[in-house]
């Protein structure tokens, strides 16, 4: 290991300790950041939410957010005062959609150890990362290369522009299959509900 490499490693380790203290420190090693999607995750209420919100906002205002139900409810009320056109019976549909797909499960307990603890805590809140971890997806799939199964990027590229892909991929994850990428079978993941499947598929399709 060269001296320079050693510094880079030391720098990386130090960065891991930095949290929400207002630091502007960017990681030395390029850390891949997933750009927020420009379309909403498909699900019950996604079309209505898109129709009501994108009149004034690009969808990233929603897709980059992780808010509590209370915050989404509050936000819709503020937007109504700012001229959002929405019928009373549509409000719960939109709130339900946002609270389902763009929430953090529960607010962090407290800022008791804010500087050191908040970075990992924030990372753990990403629902896709949580799904990938708890369902062991990463045991067989990597982002950018073939492991046991194809890389997520490879999958996204193959299905780019295929309107039926989200449904196909969701079924494939849930029911498993063999043949599309080789002879090694993909096991079924029947524990995943349609909301989780939609989250995973949307994320995979964004990896192009």
Partner 1 sequence: MADKITGLANPEQGTSRRDFMAKVAVAAVTAGTTIPRLASAQTAAKPPADPAGVISNDVVMAGKDAALKMHSERPLTASATAEFLADEITPTNRVFVRNNLFTTEFSEANHVVEIKGLVDKPLKLTVADIKSMFKNTSTVAMIECAGAGRTAFNPVPRGTPWPATGGMSCPKWNGVRLGDVLKAAGIRSDGAHVSFTGADFGALPTIPKVARSVPLWKALEEHSMIVYGMNDGPLPVVHGAPIRVMIPGWAGSASVKWVAGIEVLSAPLKGPYMDSSYRMPRHPVAPGSKMPEDAVSTEGWPIKSMITNPAPNARFKIGKPVLVAGHAWVAEADIERVELSFDEGRSWQNAQLNAKAAKYAWQTFSYAYTPRGPGYMTVLARATDSKGNTQPIVTPWNPLGYYWNGIHRVGFSVES
Nearer to partner 1 among residue 29 and residue 184 (C-beta) = 29
**In the numeric block, which tokens belong to residue 125?**
């809140």
Binder among 100, 118, 129, 207 for partner 1 (CB under 8 A): 118
Residues composing the chain: 208
Nearer to partner 1 among residue 121 and residue 142 (C-beta) = 121
HSE at residue 40, side-chain half, CA atoms within 13 A, is 27
Under rule CB under 8 A, residue 74 binds partner 1? yes
Contact (Cβ atoms closer than 8 angstroms) between residue 192 and residue 174: yes
Under rule CB under 8 A, residue 160 binds partner 1? no
Nearer to partner 1 among residue 66 and residue 168 (C-beta) = 66
- Residues that bind partner 1 (rule: CB under 8 A) add up to a total of 59
Nearer to partner 1 among residue 27 and residue 182 (C-beta) = 27
Under rule CB under 8 A, residue 151 binds partner 1? no
Under rule CB under 8 A, residue 23 binds partner 1? yes
CB atoms inside a 10 Å sphere around CB 1: 7
DSSP state of 190: T
Nearer to partner 1 among residue 112 and residue 191 (C-beta) = 112
DSSP state of 55: T
Q: Least CB distance from residue 169 to partner 1, whole Å?
A: 18
Under rule CB under 8 A, residue 126 binds partner 1? no
Contact (Cβ atoms closer than 8 angstroms) between residue 103 and residue 67: yes
Q: Least CB distance from residue 126 to partner 1, whole Å?
A: 12
Q: Which of 96, 99, 127, 124 is nearest to 109 (CA)?
A: 124
Residues paired with 186 in a beta bridge: 177
Under rule CB under 8 A, residue 7 binds partner 1? yes
DSSP state of 113: S
Q: List CB contacts of 84: < 8 A, sequence separation 6 or more.
A: 52, 53, 55, 56, 76
CB atoms inside a 10 Å sphere around CB 13: 9
User: In the window 172-201, what residues touch partner 1 (CB under 8 A)?
Assistant: none
Residues that bind partner 1 (CB under 8 A): 3, 7, 10-11, 13-15, 18-26, 28, 39, 47-48, 50-51, 54-61, 64-68, 70-71, 73-75, 77-78, 81-83, 85-87, 104, 106-108, 111, 114-115, 118, 121-122, 125
């Amino acid at each position: 290991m060269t001296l320079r490499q050693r510094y880079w490693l030391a720098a990386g380790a130090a960065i891991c300790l930095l949290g929400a203290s207002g630091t502007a420190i960017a990681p030395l090693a390029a850390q891949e950041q997933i750009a927020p999607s420009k379309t909403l995750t498909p699900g019950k209420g996604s079309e209505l939410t898109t129709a009501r919100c994108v009149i004034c906002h690009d969808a990233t205002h929603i897709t980059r957010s992780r808010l509590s139900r209370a915050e989404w409810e509050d936000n819709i009320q503020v937007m109504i005062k700012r001229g959002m056109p929405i019928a009373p019976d549509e409000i719960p549909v939109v709130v339900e959609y946002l609270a389902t797909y763009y929430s953090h499960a529960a607010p962090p307990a407290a800022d008791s150890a804010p500087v050191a603890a908040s970075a990992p805590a924030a990372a753990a809140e990403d629902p896709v990362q949580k799904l990938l971890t708890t369902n062991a997806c990463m045991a067989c799939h990597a982002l950018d290369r073939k492991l046991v199964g194809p890389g997520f990027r490879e999958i996204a590229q193959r299905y780019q522009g295929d309107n039926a892909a989200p449904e196909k991929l969701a079924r494939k994850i849930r029911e498993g299959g063999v043949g599309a990428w080789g002879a090694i079978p993909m096991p079924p993941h029947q524990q995943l509900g349609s909301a989780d499947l939609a989250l995973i598929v949307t994320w995979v399709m964004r990896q192009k």
